[in-house]
Amino acid sequence: MIAGFSCRTVRLTSIGRRHCTTNRITAAVSSATTTAATGRPASQSPIIAASFNSWQSRSQARFYSSSSSSPPKKKVAELNKLEAKMSAGKDYYLTLSCPDKPGIVHAVTGLLASQKLNILDLQQFSDRTSERFFMRVHFGHAESTAALDAPLAELSKELQMDYDVRATSSKPRVLIMVSKIGHCLNDLLFRTKANQLGIEVPIIVSNHPDYRPLAESYGIEFHHLPVNKDTKLEQERQILDLIKKHDIELVVLARYMQVLSPGLCEAMSGKIINIHHSFLPSFKGAKPYHQAFDRGVKIIGATAHFVTADLDEGPIIEQRVARVDHSLSPKELVEEGSNVESQVLAAAVKWWSEKKVFLNGHKTVVFN
């Protein structure tokens, strides 16, 4: 008997046990240093080495041949066909809201299944207060949505449903408005260029000329539209003309320091997002950081919200905060808050472009 090597019989009943036994025997032989008969290292015993190597080769051959079978040709063909279909089709977002009732999810998912469409992600919310139901479905691999038009229209009548279907690859066109403070504008343009927001910015409007060079550096059309109380309605008429001309779907107020008229707010209801430099509903108005300084707050924040005729009262999309203390001056509070503002506005725009934001009365539903 070799030192450290057990010669007891082992019944090999499965591939896994054969493999484990191989490992144990290999370790045992490697650790054996002498033979009982000759005193030489076990690895130098020609009979044992030849016998073990022959057994090990047969065992490993049986193990690997049984564990590496290739898939049938029919299965490979099916997988290739599925991959080709997925590559050819597009992904879409279906968003909807309607009065809540049983069976909505079943009806919508059944409709998609009937068209052999694959649901990649689904989010839903039932508001017990407003008794409304909200759903966002990311479905895939359709060459077009034409076949969905008629059944969706029929389902819309049945459920009193507002809905929209948009390709995930489409980029809604956004108009950005800015005054003299440009950190939010700069952040949005950089993120848009880096394809982080899923939008296209064809035009920038400002009541000051300061950011024309920045717009031109991105190849974006810039319109300087000065405004005062006497020219406000005419200036906003020009804005509406630009919105129509450029097929704008969303207006973003990136620190645009003018109050929009009720007429413009109504004309673009649910299509204007503003960034307010405080954690609403606290510290409304033009200088919230100075108000926060006077009150000795320990956190400052920013709020992205839809614009309504009531100043800083629109449905809130996103809010974030940063901790501060007594040592910071108003100027330092402004600097700290600028970072938060950029992050909050970018998040709100991104979620809007991904169809994750729903209006729900004076509130929003955000699937983030």
- Domain 84-167 matching CATH 3.30.70.260: the answer reads yes
DSSP label of 211: T
Contacts of 254 (CB under 8 A, 6+ apart): 176, 177, 178, 182, 184, 185, 188, 275, 345
SS3 call for 56: helix
Cβ count near 64 (within 10 Å):
11
Residue 73 phi/psi, 5-degree rounding, is: -60, -35
Return residue ranges of the chain for CATH 3.40.50.170. 173-366
Identify the band that residue 204 occupies on the pLDDT scale cut at 50, 70 and 90. very high
pTM for this one? 0.73
Q: Residue written as tokens 């279907």?
A: 165
DSSP 322: E
Residue 197 and residue 171: Cα distance in Å, rounded?
9
Give how far Cα 86 sits from Cα of 32, 48, 95, 137, 167, Å: 57, 57, 22, 17, 14
Residues 6+ apart with CB under 8 A from 302: 275, 276, 277, 278, 279, 319, 320, 337, 340, 341, 343, 344, 345
User: Who wins on pLDDT, 275 or 330?
Assistant: 275
| pLDDT at 135 (0 to 100) | 99
CA distance 245 to 267: 15
Spot the catalytic one: 162, 164, 312, 325.
312
Using an 8 Å Cβ cutoff, are 105 and 135 in contact? yes
The yes-or-no verdict on residue 29 having pLDDT over 70 is no
CA–CA separation, 257 vs 287, rounded Å?
11
Length of the chain: 368
54: how many CB neighbours lie within 10 A of its CB?
A: 10
User: Of 66 and 262, which is predicted with more confidence?
Assistant: 262
Q: What is the pLDDT of residues 153-167, one digit of tens each?
A: 999 999 999 999 999
Alpha-carbon gap, residue 334 to 332, rounded angstroms: 5
Considering the chain, tell me which residue range(s) the CATH 3.30.70.260 domain(s) occupy: 84-167
The first and second tokens of residue 208, run together, are 């000051």
Residue 291 has pLDDT above 90, yes or no: no
The answer on pLDDT for 333 being more than 70 is yes
Angle value at C-alpha 181, between 178 and 183, nearest 5 degrees: 95
Q: Is the dihedral of CA 252, 254, 256, 257 positive or negative?
A: positive
User: Is residue 312 annotated as part of the catalytic site, yes or no?
Assistant: yes
Query: Can you name the CATH fold of 173-366?
Result: Rossmann fold (3.40.50)
